[in-house]
Amino acid sequence: MSRNLMAHSCFCLIFSLKLEKAILEEAKREKNPFLVGLYASFQSRDHFCLAMDYCPGGDLKTYLNVSSFPKETAVFYSGCIVLGLQFLHERNIIHRDIKPPNILLDSDGYARIADFGMAKKTAGYDGTATTDCGTLPYMAPEIFRSRFYTKSVDWWALGILIYKMLLNKSCHLSGLDLDKAFPVKSGSSLIDMVRSQLLITT
């Protein structure tokens, strides 16, 4: 790796850490119950450490490894995530990595968004980003197409996450027939919610 590339990588990492720390600090300062907040931070010669709010309930991935969620549980967690995303988006921040391991459960059972390592601060409410990042099953099509994208990529990821919570399987969108993808037991209100998040434009 060239010296210039190494310097650029280090700069990007430092910038990302500073943004993550700033988001965690604001979540704590504003006492937002749907984001993990910062408890303390410190650094050594080789490490930068962030001590965050303790969420003893673990992450959604742990539970989804066992089974899907009842409709009421999926609705509740989805509502928590929506409120957390609204907080970020009002501050022109795109999370860009909404997925089960990044949703933690606190001591009261509320879902809280964590891991802001891929977050992006945009210029204005309709600001865009171009970096190809995220976790494959949850990435919106515009990221793959190397297009400018907005906060809408977080809503796409939430739609995929809702599908995962309800059916406990990945949502493969290639050739997907939305009329057949959701069993009746999921409930029409949740089907409509997921469909609205997974709107595909060509």
Q: What is the pLDDT of residues 134-190, one digit of tens each?
A: 888 999 988 877 678 999 999 999 999 999 999 998 776 555 555 555 554 555 566
Q: State the average pLDDT over residues 94-102.
A: 97
CATH 1.10.3720.10 for domain 55-197, yes or no, is no
Least confident of 17-26, 100-109, 144-153, 190-199: 190-199
The residue ranges of every structural domain in the chain are 55-197
The reported pLDDT for the residue numbered 8 is 46
Active site (catalytic) residues: 97
Task: Kindly list the distances between the CA atom of residue 112 and the CA atoms of 83, 135, 151, 158, 161, in Å, as whole numbers in the listed order.
Answer: 10, 18, 18, 13, 14
Quickly list H helices, the chain: 3-29, 60-64, 71-90, 141-144, 152-167, 178-181, 188-197
The reported pLDDT for the residue numbered 54 is 95
Contact predicate 167/159, CB 8 Å:
no
Kindly report, residue by residue over 35-75, the tens digit of the pLDDT: 999 988 888 888 888 899 999 999 999 999 999 999 999 99
**Cα four-point dihedral sign 139, 141, 171, 195:** positive
Q: What is the pTM of this model?
A: 0.81
